[in-house]
Amino acid sequence: MKKTVAVIVSAIILFAWGAVSWMVLPWHQMVANQFTNESEVAETIEANALEPGIYYLPFSHKDHKAGETAAFVSALPQVYPPSMVNQLLIQFVGDLVSVLIVISLLSQTAGLSYWGRVGFVALVGAAIGFISHFPYWNWFGFPTSYVTVIVIDSLVAWFLAGLMIARLVAKNTKKVTSRINVIG
């Protein structure tokens, strides 16, 4: 029962940090730009993106000409819900699943101190942010400041959750044995 509570508390920590990070701190808005005429852009997207999804401009890299405008858009024409209740519930379930995955990774380590386990979880968080957003920076031109904020956000979230997760996963969970096979 204590483990179940710790998993839920860890997910709540992730969820709460996400709320603070996106709704209280200004950093996500600081690395984004606002369209000059949002209603005009919305009308253009609605007229040209007939279903929700990812859109590339130009669609094929073969059609891209130097100096042209390019875009990577996640369009939700007439789909954005009036209430975020479902999205919040889905986010919490995703946080629960994420905590279980990270606990599984941490349980494969052995001999780490409490702070070593917290550091491991925080490092996993940084990896999550970097691995998931670096390709967008590289291939789609996402701003360095945006990717940096996402990586730091993920690192902080998992550091905070790691404070609880490290208590959940015992110091000597599984003894990791390594064998070096010499081919000769």
Q: pLDDT per residue over 72-121, tens digit each?
A: 888 887 777 778 898 899 999 999 999 999 999 999 988 899 999 999 99
For residue 75, tell me if it sits in a domain: no
- 99 lies in a domain? yes
Which residues, 6+ apart, have CB-to-CB distance to 117 below 8 Å?
106, 109, 162, 165, 166, 169, 171
Q: Looking at residues 129-135, what average pLDDT do you find?
A: 94
> Which structural domain, as residue segments, surrounds residue 113?
2-34+81-168
Residue 40 corresponds to which amino acid?
E
User: Nearest CA to 45 among 80, 71, 75?
Assistant: 75
Whole-model pTM? 0.81
Query: Is 22 inside any structural domain?
Result: yes
Domain membership flag for residue 43? no
Looking at the domain assignment, is residue 42 inside a domain? no
The CA distances from residue 162 to 16, 76, 144, 147, in Å, are 14, 34, 26, 22
Q: How confident is the model at residue 9 (pLDDT cuts 50, 70, 90)?
A: very high
Domain for residue 57, yes or no? no
Number of structural domains (the chain) is: 1
Evaluated on CA atoms 104, 135, 75, 144, the torsion sign reads positive
In a domain, 121, yes or no: yes
Whether 113 is covered by a domain: the verdict is yes
